[in-house]
Structure 1
Amino acid sequence: MYWLVFAACVLLPSVHCASESVAWCYDQPSCNYTTWPVIATKFCNGSRQSPIDIVSASAEEDSSLPAFSFKDYDSKNALNKIENTGKTVKVTFNSGLQVSGGGLSQPYDSLQFHLHWGNGSSVPGSEHTVNGKRYPMELHIVNLNSKHNGNTTLGVADSTGLAALGFFIEEMSGNATGQPASWHTLSSYLMNITNAKESVSVAAGISMDDLLGDVDRNKFYRYLGSLTTPNCNEAVVWTVFEEPIKVSRDVIDLFSQTVRVSNSSSPFMINVYRGIQSPQKVTRSAISSSSTTCYSLGLMALSLALGRT
């Protein structure tokens, strides 16, 4: 089925949306990602397209990539609304969340996150791959350069106007169900948004820190790329974190077994990801867990010493 959408509006929850539109899809031969370079020629056949396969051995360490700072990611009131867009499940944020550091030129305002998946835990559907490995799911946090003051039209026209944070999602080992609790709660909303364009408010109680879990956010890859949906604007500073979020199989399976591409008689939403694009130059952070631990231990020792004076 064709879906006529505004290119920037698919990913960016703002009234300031790009005026160009294109009909695209994931599930039909006439409009799936193999046709995007033809039906959305301005950018989708460009030279810095996403997603890519990250070859870890070729990613040089970059000392100019320091640790990130995440503002209000611990807020239990961060999530505003969850929506079935007809292409993905998207969660918009309340205002205040922001990401900075990590080699970004300035702070970026966090707007929303959405997900990409294949067909349950058995058919992987992450967009990026690492050394050819595709994960079951991938979470993308979309952030807009704060200098654009919420205007996403300006953001998609700027080569570094957007910063996307990509987190792989991998099946948790063992026979756990409904884990982690934050993901169990989030997935419980899917029954309320089975049809396209349905949305519901998210109750207070889940923070982004809860959803990201214990992923080491000091370990990440960096490259310059694009939106992964038409119009594929080449405006994204990509950060892909090395460690995956661990989620139980039943929660992963719910996404491909609950939400549909249109109405109750339409197919379930599966294989909602773009294929791998041409390689780009990738660097990686040089912050090690050991250095972070040593720094923390140093602060602890200093505190103890001061406490004895």
Structure 2
Amino acid sequence: MEKPPRGKGILIHLLLPFCCSKMLLAIIFLQISPQALAVSSESHWTYEGSHGQEHWPDTFPDCGWKAQSPVDIQMGSVQYDPSLPPIEPEGYWNPGSGDFTLINNGHTVQMSLPPSMRLHGLPSDFSAVQLHFHWGGKGHSKGSEHKVDGKSFPAELHVVHFNSEKYRNVSVAKHQPDGLAVLGIFLEQAGDVANPAYDHILDHLDKIQYAGELSQSGHFQEITIAPFNVRNLLPAHLGHYFRYNGSLTTPPCSQNVLWTVFHQPAHISVAQLETLQKSVYCTEAGEHPAELLVDNFRAPQPLNQRVVFSSFSVGPSGYSAGEIVAIIFGVILGCLSFFLAGWMVAKRIR
């Protein structure tokens, strides 16, 4: 019978399995680590450059699929659907007592929203998750993601919701084919006339100037904003909109978004737009050179076989039926005024 090891032999006998297991873990780590770093590197994306939107499908396959967003809405091809009801927000006027959270994630300015904010008028009830912006550079007319007959707007607001009627949270819903719904709101300049609702967000951008700033908890540096009337961020008229099935406009570009793009834009002042264009950076604090966060919009994607529907009747010229009636009435009124003025002049001459 073999004698049991003694002294140093006992120590070696005890440590040998431990050391072997550590070496095995080290070898496994060396094999896995480059792959983990590669995944982390591949997850990085930008709007331009080597990780720009032209290269998104290389890393995020969904970005190359056939039902992507945004799109250029062609009024001549839009199909009127009289069954589409007006959008009915719930809780937008009074979102509750909980603060909103505002961050700069390096791609956009994003504000959290409570699930008590809901949307009715869709196939299911949807609860709010967050809102964020897309905009261009100073002096540029481009900035919106969606277009109408090739026309861009200076900026676009997206309000993201998840299907709370079917799924318990956004983490589950974002993987479902009917999981998400987004409101798209064009932002248009209105001279010096400011929109006070947008100041609730824009006045705080100087506190989240840089991307990637981390707090001690390891999360993005964030600021809280007192709740305000979010309904005032939307256009006055919510009955006229475009509807189509599409995707997220940023990676991973999941094709599970029901889009509602309002025909009427919301208005902000030139100064408010400039605040958005010059206040935040896509680079981290201390990184040189600091790069302004601008032009964070994706180019329109092919519509392919999809159809864009409208909740309002669109005339052949691209105007809604109401707008056509108003134009005709204006022309008739102008002709009558011209005729009346001519008659009065002729009467005086006599």
TM-score range, shorter chain: 0.7 to 0.9
Match among 123, 127, 131 for residue 149 of structure 2: 131
Residue of structure 2 equivalent to 1:71: 90
> In the TM superposition, what are the counterparts of 1:228-239 in structure 2 within 5 Å?
228-239=249-260
Is 1:273 matched up with 2:297?
yes
The TM-score with structure 1 as length reference comes to: 0.80
Give the AA of the match of 1:139.
L
CA deviations over 1:184-216 (Å, ceiling 9, x no partner) = 232001011001133200123x211122252x1
CA deviations over 1:263-293 (Å, ceiling 9, x no partner) = 2442010100111100131000038897xxx
Residue of structure 1 equivalent to 2:201: 186
Could you say which structure has the higher strand fraction?
A: 1
Give the AA of the match of 2:204.
Y
Residue of structure 2 equivalent to 1:258: 279
Match among 52, 61, 65 for residue 46 of structure 1: 65
> In the TM superposition, what are the counterparts of 1:72-87 in structure 2 within 5 Å?
72-75=91-94, 77=96, 80-87=100-107
Q: CA deviation at 1:180?
A: 1.1
Q: CA deviation at 1:157?
A: 2.2
Distance in 1 (alpha carbons) for counterparts of 2:251 and 2:267: 30
Unaligned runs of 5+ in 1: 5-20, 291-309
Contact 2:162 2:174 in 1 (8 A): no
Say how many residue pairs are matched: 262
Contact 2:235 2:265 in 1 (8 A): no
Bigger relative CO (Cα 8 Å, ≥ 6 apart): 1
Residue of structure 2 equivalent to 1:195: 210
Secondary structure of residue in 1 paired with 2:66: coil
Residue of structure 1 equivalent to 2:79: 60
Distance in 1 (alpha carbons) for counterparts of 2:225 and 2:192: 28
Residues 121, 90 of structure 1: alpha-carbon distance in 2 compared, 3 angstrom cutoff = farther
Contact 1:163 1:238 in 2 (8 A): yes
Contact 1:120 1:254 in 2 (8 A): no
Contact 1:164 1:237 in 2 (8 A): yes
Is 1:165 matched up with 2:183?
yes
Could you say which structure has the higher helix fraction?
A: 2
Match among 294, 308, 330 for residue 282 of structure 1: 308
Q: Which structure has the greater CA radius of gyration?
A: 2
Distance in 2 (alpha carbons) for counterparts of 1:79 and 1:228: 27
Distance in 2 (alpha carbons) for counterparts of 1:223 and 1:213: 19
Distance in 2 (alpha carbons) for counterparts of 1:248 and 1:30: 35
Residue of structure 1 equivalent to 2:159: 141
Give the AA of the match of 1:37.
P
Secondary structure of residue in 1 paired with 2:43: strand
Residue of structure 2 equivalent to 1:218: 239
Unaligned runs of 5+ in 2: 1-35, 37-41, 212-219, 314-319, 323-350
After superposition, the CA RMSD in angstroms is 2.1
Secondary structure of residue in 2 paired with 1:119: coil
Distance in 2 (alpha carbons) for counterparts of 1:282 and 1:289: 18
Distance in 1 (alpha carbons) for counterparts of 2:181 and 2:187: 19
Contact 2:95 2:116 in 1 (8 A): no
